[in-house]
């Protein structure tokens, strides 16, 4: 059985959907039940006793650890302890339970947010070996600490741990939760486009967006790899595109949709997850070591996401 922590979140739901489609036995562990019919136990990864009871009862063979709080600046100021409890202590709780109960493989979902200003200023795609993180937000700081804790404990306790740093995911199943303060700009824009409304957003430039089914497939490739050459991989498409490009693709299919860029933050109804977008990931390791390739470029993602939203009556 594969345990997916944070499986009710939007990346988690994409992972669960793909695992179940190929016949895997999956269990979700999250604060709230998922939006799909899948076995689930509700609980908090920051509660060590609850995590221990879960592992003792279910005895998973593998774990994909996605549980995290994706905090904005307001929550950084309001709840720094809670962000640290979930993102760092929760990761250690799950990792220690995995060791005690003989989990064979542990995949930890990290994030590109840990690069902070390095990711903005980098002249080339962000590389696992060359570029060193410099997180600024509580989300980035705690996720980087969790990543380093995973690597440290894996070495000390001989755990099979693989880490995937996610590029900026968007798309299917994305929704606001108690752990996710804001939706990604591509998803917010797609929702406005379907309503025939106008999207107004600041000029951000291109960034490393990745469609949710692709990032789920990359996490599963990391889970499946028999003997990966590295413990750490960047999970991205290797390309970057901008919000105006995305809007143009949506407008071809939804002619009532209007959009524009504005430097006046007060009139923007789509706000970025970070003040400035980072450059794209290098996915050299992912491609060379695991043979992974993205299925969706921006055009294919736009077509699939609009069809998915229509089928699921997503606002």
Active site residue 139: yes
CA angle 9, 11, 12 (to 5 degrees): 60
Q: How many residues does the chain have?
A: 315
Between CA 16 and CA 94 the distance in angstroms is: 18
Catalytic residue among 139, 144, 233, 296: 139
Listing DSSP states for 36-75 in one string gives SS--EEE--TT-HHHHHHHHHHH--SEEEE----B--HHH
b/e burial code for range 196-223 (CB count within 10 A of at least 16 → b) = eeebbbbebeebbbbbbbbbbbbbbbbb
- What lies within 8 Å, CB to CB, of 80 at 6+ separation is 138
Instruction: Give the number of other Cβ atoms within 10 Å of residue 3's Cβ.
Output: 25
Which are the catalytic amino acids? 139
């Amino acid at each position: 059985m594969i345990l997916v922590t944070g499986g009710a979140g939007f990346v988690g739901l994409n992972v669960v959907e793909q695992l179940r489609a190929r016949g895997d036995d999956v269990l979700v562990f999250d604060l709230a039940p998922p939006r799909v019919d899948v076995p689930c136990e509700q609980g908090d990864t920051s509660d060590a006793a609850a995590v221990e009871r879960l592992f003792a009862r279910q005895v998973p063979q593998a774990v994909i650890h996605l549980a995290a709080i994706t905090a904005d600046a307001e929550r950084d100021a309001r709840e720094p302890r809670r962000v640290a409890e979930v993102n760092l202590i929760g990761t250690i709780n799950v990792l220690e339970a995995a060791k005690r109960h003989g989990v064979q493989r542990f995949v930890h979902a990290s994030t590109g947010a840990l690069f902070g200003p390095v990711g903005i200023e980098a002249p080339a795609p962000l590389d696992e070996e060359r570029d060193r993180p410099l997180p600024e937000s509580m989300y980035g700081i705690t996720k980087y600490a969790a990543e380093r804790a995973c690597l440290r404990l894996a070495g000390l306790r001989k755990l099979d741990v693989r880490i995937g740093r996610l590029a900026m995911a968007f798309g299917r199943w994305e929704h606001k939760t108690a752990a996710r303060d804001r939706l990604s700009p591509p998803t917010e824009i797609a929702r406005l486009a379907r309503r025939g409304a106008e999207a107004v957003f600041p000029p951000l430039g291109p960034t490393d967006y990745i469609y949710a089914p692709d990032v789920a497939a990359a996490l599963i490739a990391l889970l499946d790899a028999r003997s990966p050459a590295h413990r750490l991989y960047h999970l991205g498409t290797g390309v970057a595109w901008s919000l105006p490009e995305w809007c143009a693709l949506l407008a071809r299919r939804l002619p009532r949709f209007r959009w524009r860029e504005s430097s006046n933050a007060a009139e923007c109804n789509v706000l970025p997850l970070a003040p400035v977008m980072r450059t794209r990931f290098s996915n050299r390791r992912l491609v060379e070591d695991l043979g992974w390739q993205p299925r969706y470029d921006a055009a294919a993602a736009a077509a699939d996401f609009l069809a998915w939203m229509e089928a699921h009556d997503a606002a």
